[in-house]
Amino acid sequence: MTATNGTRLNAMKALALLSKFLGRHDTYKNLLHKYDLKWTCNTDDLIIERLLKGTNANDLIEWIQTVKTTFTEFAVFVDYIVATGLRFDEALQSYNLIIELAKQNRLDDYYKAEKEVLEHFRFKKIFLRRTKKVFISFVPKQIIQAIASNGATITKDSIRKKLQRKAIRFRFSDIREFCASRSVKHLQQPEIDFIEGRVSSTVFMRNYFNPTLINDLKNRAIANANELLKSVQTAQIECTV
């Protein structure tokens, strides 16, 4: 079975660390050269793979609606991912954190209602990981209120097992792709990347991009989130991704 790009990259990282530990790193580099193994993927191939994946917006919206109606206990969580475009694990941790802080009357430590922003950066151990980070999310107040009032935390296993029992695919990563693609109507690429936690190593993103200097970012981000939420409530849409 062909490994995914992520699995392949993780395997190469692990082998690189092992080769250094064993004092065989030169041998490892020679093997990479011999078999033409590369750390980075061919961008053209990634784009072609995405185009051939067969995912379209109508199909994904139908999947979202199916999950929400079949498992009503997960409906708000699905809406939360749609509104934020967060990675599944990040969204799950954030969702549960909102519930726990709300129970402790400490939600203000995380969600700034006047700005409609979740400040993930205040919980560095959870959200600022070595390779995957997310600093803020603009979230409409009604979504935060719905999560806080829900009161019941959820786990990845509970979601996965319930989907499996109903033979429903696990497609949360497709929601993230859908959100990023649709967000260009309201947001620019650096803004989308920052909000979805893709802080690249470019000089601009690393040294100059500061969302606090963009006066209308909050309004555009909230408008974008509301439009995304509205789009997944619609049975059919006009175009596909």
Show pLDDT as tens, one digit a residue, over the chain (241 residues): 455 666 777 787 888 888 888 888 888 888 887 777 766 655 555 545 555 555 578 899 999 999 999 999 999 999 999 999 999 999 999 999 999 999 999 999 999 999 999 999 999 999 998 878 999 999 999 999 999 998 899 999 999 999 999 999 999 999 999 999 999 999 999 999 999 988 765 667 777 778 877 889 999 999 999 999 999 985 443 433 3
Q: Quick one: 46 and 62 in the same domain? A: no
Interatomic CA distance for residues 67 and 81, integer angstroms: 13
At position 32, the amino acid (one-letter code) is L
Shared domain check, 221 and 177: yes
Residue 238 placed within a domain? no
Residue 175 lies in a domain: yes
The model carries a pTM of 0.77
Which domain CATH number covers 217?
1.10.443.10
Q: Which residue range(s) make up the domain with 39?
A: 5-52
Domain tally, the chain? 2
Helix (H) or strand (E) holding 5: helix 5-22
Asked, for residue 240, whether it belongs to a domain, the answer is no
The reply to whether 241 falls in a domain is: no
d(CA 123, CA 90): 12
Query: Do 124 and 47 reside in the same domain of the chain?
Result: no
Q: Which helix (H) or strand (E) holds 177?
A: helix 172-182
Q: Are residues 98 and 163 in the same domain?
A: yes
In a domain, residue 200? The reply is yes
CA distance 132 to 233: 30
Longest C-alpha distance within the chain, in Å?
59
Residues 117, 23 share a domain: no
Residues 47, 70 within the same domain: no
Give residue for tokens 């555009």.
Answer: 220
The contacts of residue 125 (CB under 8 Å, 6+ apart) are none
Instruction: Based on the fold, state whether residues 27 and 137 are members of the same structural domain.
Output: no
Q: What pLDDT is stored for residue 211 in this prediction? A: 82
For residue 169, give the nearest of 50, 59, 58, 4 by alpha carbon.
59
Question: Does 25 share its domain with 68?
Answer: no
Pair 129, 166 in one domain? yes
Domain shared by 46 and 145, yes or no: no
